[in-house]
Amino acid sequence: MSNLSTSSSTIFWPLKGASDSQFKKLCHVLWEWEICDGCKIDQRCLSIRCPWQKRSLKLQPFFRLYQKITASYMPEMHTTSNYALRTHEDLFQIIQILKQNPTTPRAHLTATHFARRGYNSQPHPADQNRAFDLAVRAMTTVDCSIENQSGSDVLFWEDDKSFQELVRSIGSTKYYPVLAGDEERSLDPKEQLSAIRLKKSAHIKFRGTDDIKNHLRLEGKTVEIFHHTSILKEHLRLTRYEHAKTSTDNSSCIDVIPRQLALETLGSLQEVLFPYGDIDSHRCLKFLSSSSGIDQDCLMPNSEGSRRSDEKNVRYTYWGPRMRILLDELESPSPRGLQQRWERISKQRHMMQAAVIGIMVTVLLGLMSLPLQIFQAWISYQQMKYSIPPTGTT
């Protein structure tokens, strides 16, 4: 019975469960880790430069996220030869394809990749799209599938768009007003938008999100924060020297997560909301880490050499609009609870009533003065009509 249950689980959820060996392959595919021969076979590490021993522990929250998003994959057709993703290695192959062909439209990549399997082994088109969406989520944490999104703030990967176009639209200001000119320069998030101030003055709460496109999104009185800082540091480390490469390097190193976006996300967490060195902010973040499962790497400063020397001061072009929304909430907090909402509505209604009454009184006074003005005009007319000439005139 146990074997039958395991077999059924494999058929319907082929990516359920991932081993350390597969995590090592994932790190190599995503960040080009050169893992030593000892770690490859789960033996004693043979190199002090081996990234698996040095950095894999910090990536445990990401590995759990990867297991979560891949375990939910269920193929469209129940024939193993027609699965778009039969193993984790199939997913890694798609990730490699996306990194090596960042400017190729999605439809072409999908058709070319699955055509290699032969006509009789073609997965269902919906399953093909699901496989590429899952690869994007494993690479960037962004859910770009049509199935799991609703509302106005969504991000779909259209057939005529390339992977590069998709990742550049992460954090797009499409749905938010853009800061410009003096208004942008006047916003100093480091001084105005600390989590402590937002909690005390605007009664805002925080919760973690596993999708980077939802970072700093305000819903009601809750702000979502992307907490997988270990991923961001790996992407920054990978692309730190990218500007020094030439077109002949034949490297698959691209901005899987745009470097500016990664810098802004890290900066907004460690310099704006929870400034490192501030005791109250550290306590707040530590509480979130223990109570909400936020990645503990958020508590660590970005001191691992992932930034360039010219990247000390971050300009918030991606998250500036959402910071402006938080600043507006800080300056004019929205009401909490039914009582405050009723009080605000009542206040607005009273102000409207006062304005209407004022207009009505003005109109009434105008109507009342109209007969008097008419009478005065008639008197003036009569005086002019029957005016008596002065005495002594001939």
Domain that includes residue 363, residue range: 343-377
Q: Between 40 and 24, name the one with better pLDDT.
A: 24
pLDDT bucket at 308, cuts 50 / 70 / 90? confident
Q: At what angle do helices 20-31 and 229-238 cross, to 10 degrees?
A: 50
Residue 390 within any structural domain of the chain: no
Q: What is the pLDDT of residue 209?
A: 94
Q: How many domains, in total, are found in the chain? A: 3
Mean model confidence pLDDT for the chain: 81
In a domain, 88, yes or no: yes
Which contacts of 173-177 are long-range, i.e. CB under 8 A and separated by 24 or more positions? 173/318, 173/320, 173/321, 176/321, 176/322, 176/324, 176/325, 177/321, 177/324
Under DSSP, the state recorded for 239 is T
Kindly give the interhelix angle for 20-31 and 88-100, rounded to the nearest 10 degrees. Answer: 10
Amino acid identity of residue 155, one-letter, is L
pLDDT, mean of residues 331-358: 66
Residue 306, pLDDT > 80, answer: no
pLDDT digits over 347-357, tens only?
666 677 778 88
Asked if residue 20 has pLDDT above 50, the reply is yes
pLDDT interval class at 379 (50, 70, 90): confident
pLDDT > 70: what percent of the chain? 78
Residue 338 domain-assigned (yes or no): no
SS3 224: strand
- Coil vs helix vs strand at 372: helix
Q: What is 309-355 written as a DSSP string?
A: TT-SS---SSSHHHHHHHHHHHHSPPP-HHHHHHHHHHHHHHHHHHH
Is 385 among the domain residues? Answer: no
Q: Is residue 161 part of a domain?
A: yes
Q: How confident is the model at residue 23 (pLDDT cuts 50, 70, 90)?
A: very high
Q: Are 229 and 86 part of one and the same domain? A: no
- Which range has the worst mean pLDDT, 14-23, 263-272, 334-343, 361-370? 334-343
Q: What is the pLDDT of residue 152?
A: 56
pLDDT, mean of residues 150-179: 72
Same domain as 162, residue 53: yes
Residue with the larger pLDDT of the pair 242 and 123: 123
Looking at the structure, tell me whether residues 127 and 29 fall in a common domain.
yes
Q: How far apart are CA 25 and CA 75, in angstroms?
A: 23
pLDDT at 196 over 80: yes
Tokens of 244: 């020094």
Do 319 and 366 belong to one domain?
no
Contact in structure between 43 and 100 (CB atoms under 8 Å): no
| pLDDT score recorded for residue 273 | 93
Give bridge partners of residue 223 from the DSSP assignment. Answer: 206, 218
CB-count exposure of residue 364 (10 Å: 0-12, 13-18, 19+): exposed
Residue 357 tokens read as: 């009454």
- Alpha helices (H) along 193-319: 195-202, 229-238, 259-267, 279-292
* 20 and 80 share one domain: yes
Regarding whether 239 and 363 lie in a shared domain, the answer is: no
What integer is the mean pLDDT of 106-125? Answer: 88
Q: Is the pLDDT of residue 140 over 90?
A: yes
Same domain, 23 and 148: yes
Domain closes at, from 133, 168, 203: 168
Percent of the chain predicted with pLDDT > 90: 40
pLDDT of residue 7: 47
Domain boundary (331, 357, 389) is at: 331
Residue scoring higher pLDDT (391 or 54): 54
The mean-pLDDT minimum among 83-97, 112-126, 259-273 falls in 112-126
Q: Flag whether pLDDT at 248 surpasses 50.
A: no
- Do 21 and 148 lie in one domain? The reply is yes
Mean pLDDT over 217-223 rounds to 91
* 190 and 113 co-located in one domain: no
Same domain assignment for residues 326 and 198:
yes
Q: Is it the case that residue 1 has pLDDT exceeding 50?
A: no
Question: Is the residue at 281 inside a domain?
Answer: yes
Q: Name the most confidently modeled range: 146-155, 219-228, 313-322.
A: 219-228
Q: Which has the higher per-residue pLDDT, 350 or 328?
A: 328
Q: What local confidence, expressed as pLDDT, does residue 179 receive? A: 43
Kindly tell me if the per-residue pLDDT of 233 is higher than 90.
yes
Nearby residues of 110 by Cβ (< 8 Å), 6 or more positions away: 128, 129, 132
The verdict on 149 and 202 lying in the same domain is no
Q: Where are the beta strands (DSSP E) in 111-234?
A: 205-209, 218-219, 222-226
Kindly state whether residues 88 and 216 are assigned to the same domain: no
Asked whether residue 16 is domain-assigned, the answer is yes
